[in-house]
């Protein structure tokens, strides 16, 4: 059995792991990133939408990462009517996430990180005293052991590394959204609009999305809340019905499935010499399921602090406590509010959405903001404000 020693091992090469590797390698550390897939960035299990400003906070956009630029946000009601919000209220991108991840991996490798594909981490290695010293991986049927001072779990929603370290990661059914997405071609859409289909008829406890890409391609998918999902009501069944009804002309190039955690952040994001980033730490906006930029941000923070911890092992505990604090400062309160609001929003019935939408349609499009929507929700469902107040105050 082969053994190798590193400063930092990162398990998982999604945006969280890749940015952790990039930062740690740039800080001069000996970094190993292990990814179980055979090709970096592929398959893309993602709608690929990111807010422009949000993304720019963490990374400078490269033209080849842009699948489409977005300046319009359209909500489609259960009755089929389209409610366009005022232009530029939302500006974002639909990424070419495969190219994005490939390029970030190349940057990390240029900075000195070693990246190994088809390396499936199966367990943590502990010494006789119970301290985590490394990871065990299966590579083409062979077991390999790798040792490091710090381990970063960036292994996504299905993370087993955090669980093996003794951190409670189980998700309740209502805190996970099974999602399925079809990447389609042959659909003609205005390239600059994101479409969100809201209501239980499309996706109970979630929503359906239609995100355009170049050349009449689009990501069309949906997520339903785990509590509504069973063998007769799968996300795939909802998506098949959705495509048949709304995009019968679409040619499906590929389907992808995946779970999105719509829970609170994990409270424990570092333990002993292990740090957790991105989806593994449940750092996803529970209202809209977006987690790319959260993964990037947490990956960058973890990579930097892990590198510092390698230089000053006696300060590791403080540095890791700082990581948890920085994450709490960046996402904590927002995340908590989004989590509570999610429950309230998903109680809206299809007729509520239709009624509210009809009212918003009477307003001039240049005046339609998220606040206008909120005001109309409250007008038509006064009890909503009570629920929201309860949600915010945690009563
Ligand atoms: C269908 C769908 C649509 C989505 N749409 C959007 C969207 O439009 N916008 C948005 O912001 N977010 C979206 N998300 C969420 C977003 O994809 C995640 O939040 C983001 O990818 C999290 O990044 P990550 O690096 O934490 O995890 P991941 O991207 O999941 O990466 C984890 C990596 O770890 C690897 N791995 C796992 N276990 C092991 C192991 N044992 N050994 C080695 N490697 C391992 C995996 O192969 C994977 O490459 C969507 C998610 C889904 C499922």
Mark which of 209, 239, 261 sits at the end of a domain.
261
Q: Which of 81-85, 271-275, 386-390 has the lowest mean pLDDT?
A: 386-390
- Closest of 390, 362, 391, 395 to residue 376, by C-alpha: 362
Q: If you measure from the C-alpha of residue 83 to the centroid of ligand 1, how many angstroms do you get, rounded to a whole number? A: 30
Mark which of 308, 335, 362 sits at the end of a domain.
335
31 located within any domain: yes
Q: Which domain holds residue 356?
A: 344-393
Query: What integer is the mean pLDDT of 94-104?
Result: 98
Contact of 312 with 48, CB cutoff 8 Å = no
51 located within any domain: no
For residues 115 and 184, state if they share a domain: no
For residues 39 and 156, state if they share a domain: yes
Contact of 74 with 85, CB cutoff 8 Å = yes
Q: If you measure from the C-alpha of residue 117 to the centroid of ligand 1, how many angstroms do you get, rounded to a whole number? A: 16
Q: Which long-range contacts (CB under 8 A, 24 or more apart) does 332-341 make?
A: 332/265, 334/285, 335/264, 335/265, 335/283, 335/285, 335/286, 336/264, 337/391, 337/392, 338/285, 338/286, 338/287, 339/262, 339/263, 339/264, 339/286, 339/287, 340/391, 340/392, 340/394, 341/287, 341/388, 341/391
For residues 184 and 220, state if they share a domain: yes
Predicted pLDDT at 356: 87
For residues 374 and 275, state if they share a domain: no
Query: What integer is the mean pLDDT of 261-282?
Result: 95
73 located within any domain: yes
Task: Give the domain CATH number at 9.
Answer: 3.50.50.60
Predicted pLDDT at 254: 95
For residues 154 and 195, state if they share a domain: no
The total domain count for the chain is: 3
Write out residues with Cβ below 6 Å of ligand 1.
11-17, 34-37, 45-50, 120-121, 154-156, 179, 181, 221, 258, 260, 278-280, 284, 289-292, 295
For residues 280 and 155, state if they share a domain: yes
Predicted pLDDT at 385: 62
58 located within any domain: no
| Helical (H) or strand (E) element with 341 | helix 333-345
For residues 23 and 130, state if they share a domain: yes
Q: If you measure from the C-alpha of residue 310 to the centroid of ligand 1, how many angstroms do you get, rounded to a whole number? A: 27
Q: From the alpha carbon of 292, which atom of ligand 1 is closest? A: 11
Query: What integer is the mean pLDDT of 128-150?
Result: 96
Q: If you measure from the C-alpha of residue 297 to the centroid of ligand 1, how many angstroms do you get, rounded to a whole number? A: 14
For residues 73 and 149, state if they share a domain: no
55 located within any domain: no
Mutate to test the pocket of ligand 1, among 289, 294, 296 (most ligand atoms within 8 A of CB): 289
For residues 81 and 9, state if they share a domain: no
For residues 227 and 286, state if they share a domain: no
Task: Give the domain CATH number at 81.
Answer: 3.30.9.10
Predicted pLDDT at 199: 95
How is 265-290 classified by DSSP, letter by letter? PPS--EETTEEE-GGGGT-S-TTT--
Q: Render pLDDT for 171-216 as a digit per residue (tens, 0 to 9).
A: 999 999 999 999 999 998 887 899 999 999 999 999 999 999 999 9
64 located within any domain: no
For residues 114 and 36, state if they share a domain: yes
pLDDT band at 85 (very low <50, low <70, confident <90, very high): confident
Q: If you measure from the C-alpha of residue 165 to the centroid of ligand 1, how many angstroms do you get, rounded to a whole number? A: 20
For residues 14 and 128, state if they share a domain: yes
Q: From the alpha carbon of 179, which atom of ligand 1 is closest? A: 1
- Closest of 255, 283, 194 to residue 45, by C-alpha: 255
61 located within any domain: no
Atom 33 of ligand 1, residue of closest alpha carbon:
12
Q: Where are the alpha helices (DSSP H) in 50-190?
A: 52-56, 97-110, 161-164
Q: If you measure from the C-alpha of residue 134 to the centroid of ligand 1, how many angstroms do you get, rounded to a whole number? A: 23
Q: Render pLDDT for 311-361 as a digit per residue (tens, 0 to 9).
A: 999 999 999 999 999 999 999 888 888 888 887 787 789 998 999 889 889
Q: If you measure from the C-alpha of residue 41 to the centroid of ligand 1, how many angstroms do you get, rounded to a whole number? A: 10
Q: From the alpha carbon of 137, which atom of ligand 1 is closest? A: 42
Q: From the alpha carbon of 277, which atom of ligand 1 is closest? A: 26
Whole-structure pTM value: 0.95
Hey, which bits of 319-383 come out as E strands? none
Q: If you measure from the C-alpha of residue 379 to the centroid of ligand 1, how many angstroms do you get, rounded to a whole number? A: 38
Q: From the alpha carbon of 256, which atom of ligand 1 is closest? A: 1
Q: 3-class SS at 61?
A: coil
Mark which of 227, 242, 261 sits at the end of a domain.
261
Q: If you measure from the C-alpha of residue 144 to the centroid of ligand 1, how many angstroms do you get, rounded to a whole number? A: 24
- Looking at the chain, the whole-number percentage of residues with pLDDT higher than 90 is 79
Atom 38 of ligand 1, residue of closest alpha carbon:
155
59 located within any domain: no
């Amino acid at each position: 059995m082969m053994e190798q020693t590193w400063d930092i091992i990162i398990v998982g090469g999604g945006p969280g792991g890749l940015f952790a590797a990039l930062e740690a390698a740039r800080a001069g550390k000996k970094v190993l990133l292990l990814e179980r897939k055979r090709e970096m960035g592929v398959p893309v299990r993602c709608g690929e939408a990111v807010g422009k400003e949000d993304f720019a906070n963490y990374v400078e956009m490269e033209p080849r990462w842009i699948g489409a630029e977005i300046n319009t946000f359209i909500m489609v009601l259960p009755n089929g009517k389209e409610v366009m919000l005022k232009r530029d209220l939302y500006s974002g991108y639909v990424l070419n996430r495969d190219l994005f991840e490939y390029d970030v991996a190349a940057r990390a490798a240029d900075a000195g990180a070693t990246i190994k594909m088809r390396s499936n981490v199966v367990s943590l290695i502990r010494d006789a005293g119970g301290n985590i010293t490394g990871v065990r991986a299966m590579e083409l049927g062979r077991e390999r052991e790798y040792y490091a001072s710090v381990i970063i779990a960036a292994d996504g929603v299905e993370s087993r590394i955090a669980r093996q370290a003794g951190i409670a990661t189980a998700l309740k059914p209502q805190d996970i959204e099974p999602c399925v997405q079809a990447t389609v071609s042959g659909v003609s859409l205005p390239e600059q609009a994101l479409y969100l289909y809201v209501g239980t008829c499309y996706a109970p406890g979630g929503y359906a999305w239609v995100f355009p890409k170049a050349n009449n391609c689009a990501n069309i998918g949906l997520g339903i809340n785990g509590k509504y999902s069973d063998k007769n009501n799968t996300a795939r069944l909802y998506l098949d019905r959705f495509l048949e009804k709304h995009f019968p002309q679409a040619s499906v190039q590929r389907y992808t499935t995946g779970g999105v955690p719509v829970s609170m952040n994990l409270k424990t994001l570092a333990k002993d010499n292990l740090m957790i980033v991105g989806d593994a730490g449940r750092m996803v906006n529970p209202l809209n399921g977006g987690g790319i930029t959260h993964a990037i941000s947490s990956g960058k923070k973890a990579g930097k602090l892990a590198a510092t911890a390698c230089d000053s092992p006696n300060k590791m505990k403080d540095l890791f406590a700082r990581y948890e604090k920085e994450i709490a400062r960046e996402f904590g309160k927002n995340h908590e509010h989004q989590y509570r609001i999610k429950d309230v929003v998903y109680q809206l019935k299809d007729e509520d959405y239709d009624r509210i939408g009809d009212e918003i349609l009477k307003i001039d499009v240049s005046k339609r903001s998220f606040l206008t929507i909120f005001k109309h929700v409250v007008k038509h469902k006064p009890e909503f404000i009570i629920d929201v107040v309860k949600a915010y105050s945690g009563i």
